[in-house]
Structure 1
Amino acid sequence: MKSVTFYKGSALNLGILTSKGVLDIEEAGNFFSIKVPTDVRTLIEAGEIEKEAIQLVIDKASASDRSFFHDDKELEFGPCVDHPEKIICIGLNYRKHAEESKMPIPTTPIIFSKCSNALTGHRSSIQLPEQAEKVDYEAELVIVMKKEAKNISKEEARSYVYGYCTGNDISARDLQFKTGQWLIGKTCDGFCPIGPVLHSDEEIENPNDLGIKTIVNGEVRQHSSTADMIFNCEEIIAYLSQHLTLKPGDVIMTGTPEGVIMGYPEDNQTWLKDGDEVIVEIEKLGKLQNSFYKERVENQPADKLPKISL
């Protein structure tokens, strides 16, 4: 299943991506008097009965003369997971990225976090903090948990996953390295765009072998594969579960490959600036597009971006 969130007024709604467009599942379910999940958390925890109900609503909506579907280019997207209990990030998880950062290759996963204020969606405009001058992009595969996990093995880890999406671990490097703790440079407002589409696990055969890249103003900056991760998805989940309880809807960002601005020679570092457009693309998961601006503009319009298709 492929899901998104989108705004109707100030409310964030759940949409199901179909060949006809994005289905407003709540509106359609109410019309056909079929009870279906209407938010991301309920969708993640849905059983077979609820999934069958969703498919029934899709079938009925597809055959109906009434339109319940939206063109994705007309939508204002939210983060594809909107209320995770935790946003957990893995640092230096690609060998070449550790090397370009001039840091030792980790022997155990490096863990840090972001807060929910950092969450935003596809095509949102992200403010560059006044206190930071060195804002960087980081293309990342995102894991979304399906059920509670504690002390599980890597062999069973995949059965605890709901799905995957594209993410960008935006980082203010001058704030990040002010102290030994990275948090302040990682969780500024809007510094965790994820989406636009959350793909359930059965859609992705092998998350550890997906192409991943970043394009800045039309120029490819990162181009790698999740096969280059030092710790793969199953190892990350198992390791985290040994130290904390993972919950349904938890978001795990799995690290970024080489090609970040911080890895460039110092005299060739051009940090993100007002007007820049960044696209993070992961094979089978789609493109996440965001623009950046320096000063707050009231009602910053999303349609200033050329809208890429889902």
Structure 2
Amino acid sequence: MTKAEIQQQTGIPVPPNIKDFMFRGWLDEVRQHKNKLKYNHKVTDVELLVPIPNPPKIICLAFNYYDHARDAGLTPSDEPVIFMKPRTALNEPFKDVICPSFVTRLDYEAELAVIIGKETKKVTEEAALDYVFGYMIMHDVSARDIQFKDKQFTRGKGIDTFAPCGPWITTKDEVADPQNLQIITKVNDEMRQNSSSSNMVLPIRRIISALSRTMTLEPGDIISTGTPAGVAMSMKEPKYLKDGDVVEITIEKLGTIRNRIVFQ
């Protein structure tokens, strides 16, 4: 449904900025008139873009699944171990991932991402989910050779197009239990990751609470909650991504994203 159609059918002016629409009251007003809306467009008729193209922050957790940490020979932390991705890494849910030709070990990571809905500071675990707007898929594409050389994550995970996400934001009312969602990654239709968000070390409530004690979380912030076991670097014979490979990530209730890998 287009902005013009929403305005025509509800009489509510829609701002040009998606963050204003979601977080400053317009969406709530439109919901009150949802019975007036006629949905005439199929998803296949439109190009799906990045759900939030200009988030204040993209916060990512490292080794937040027991099986992934075990495969890496690490003991999971009882506090969030984080790194940041730049906004320029964001990519559409079905667009190519463009990898620089000098990268030699390109890896995939399926992640459940949380979208913060209102300013969050020093929130308790019990109240933390009240500050969530919704959820989406994040593909944390990783250049392992750069990551291992730098001994930190930012450069190897912050390359342009290295954060495909979407295919849309599923609002929290549509997800009864975000800690019980199946996560599947396929590369060229071969199953690589098959796990559940129930295997997180730190659940979403604790992540939000812990982060909010050290930084103010803002509407539109993306928190990517880590990846389960099955990534290429943990295999006995690693199957890193190659030019032309297609990575498909599905998270229960959130949909599917699919991206072709292109080396340039």
TM-score range, shorter chain: over 0.9
Aligned to 1:235: 206
SS of 2:227's equivalent?
coil
CA contact (8 A) 1:164 1:198 kept: yes
Q: Provide, for residues 94-132 of structure 1, a one-character-per-residue CA deviation record: whole Å limited to 9, x for no partner.
A: 011011122232232211010001001111011122221
Aligned to 2:166: 195
Q: 1:186 aligns with which of 141, 157, 160?
A: 157
Percent identity reads 37
Q: How far off is 1:54 after superposition?
A: 4.4
The separation in 2 between residues aligned to 1:44 and 1:151, in whole angstroms, is 23
Amino acid at match of 2:72: S
Aligned to 2:180: 209
CA contact (8 A) 1:122 1:196 kept: yes
1:27 aligns with 2:4: yes
The separation in 2 between residues aligned to 1:184 and 1:59, in whole angstroms, is 47
The separation in 1 between residues aligned to 2:51 and 2:172, in whole angstroms, is 15
The separation in 2 between residues aligned to 1:154 and 1:102, in whole angstroms, is 29
Q: 2:252 aligns with which of 276, 283, 292?
A: 283
SS of 1:278's equivalent?
strand
TM-score, length of structure 2 as denominator length: 0.94
Q: Provide, for residues 207-256 of structure 1, a one-character-per-residue CA deviation record: whole Å limited to 9, x for no partner.
A: 11111110110011000000000000000000100111100000000000
CA contact (8 A) 1:94 1:230 kept: yes
Q: How far off is 1:55 after superposition?
A: 5.1
Amino acid at match of 1:290: N
1:103 aligns with 2:81: no
The separation in 2 between residues aligned to 1:160 and 1:278, in whole angstroms, is 31
Aligned to 1:91: 62
The separation in 2 between residues aligned to 1:75 and 1:38, in whole angstroms, is 18
1:58-207 matches, within 5 Å, as 58-62=34-38, 69-207=40-178
1:55–1:133 Cα change, 3 Å: farther
The separation in 2 between residues aligned to 1:240 and 1:195, in whole angstroms, is 23
Unaligned runs of 5+ in 1: 1-22, 63-67, 296-310
The separation in 1 between residues aligned to 2:89 and 2:134, in whole angstroms, is 20
Aligned to 1:51: 28
The higher-RCO structure (CA 8 Å, 6+ apart) is 2
The separation in 2 between residues aligned to 1:274 and 1:127, in whole angstroms, is 9
Q: How far off is 1:274 after superposition?
A: 1.0
Q: How far off is 1:294 after superposition?
A: 1.3
The separation in 1 between residues aligned to 2:36 and 2:183, in whole angstroms, is 36
Two-structure CA RMSD over aligned residues (Å): 1.6
Count residues with an aligned counterpart.
263
SS of 1:288's equivalent?
strand
The separation in 1 between residues aligned to 2:69 and 2:194, in whole angstroms, is 15
Amino acid at match of 2:22: I
SS of 1:243's equivalent?
coil
Unaligned runs of 5+ in 2: none
Aligned to 1:294: 263
1:252 aligns with 2:230: no
SS of 2:211's equivalent?
helix
Q: 1:264 aligns with which of 225, 230, 235?
A: 235
Q: How far off is 1:75 after superposition?
A: 2.2
Amino acid at match of 1:29: I
SS of 1:235's equivalent?
helix
Q: Provide, for residues 66-96 of structure 1, a one-character-per-residue CA deviation record: whole Å limited to 9, x for no partner.
A: xx73322232221112110000000000011
Where has structure 1 moved over 6 Å in runs of 4 or more?
none
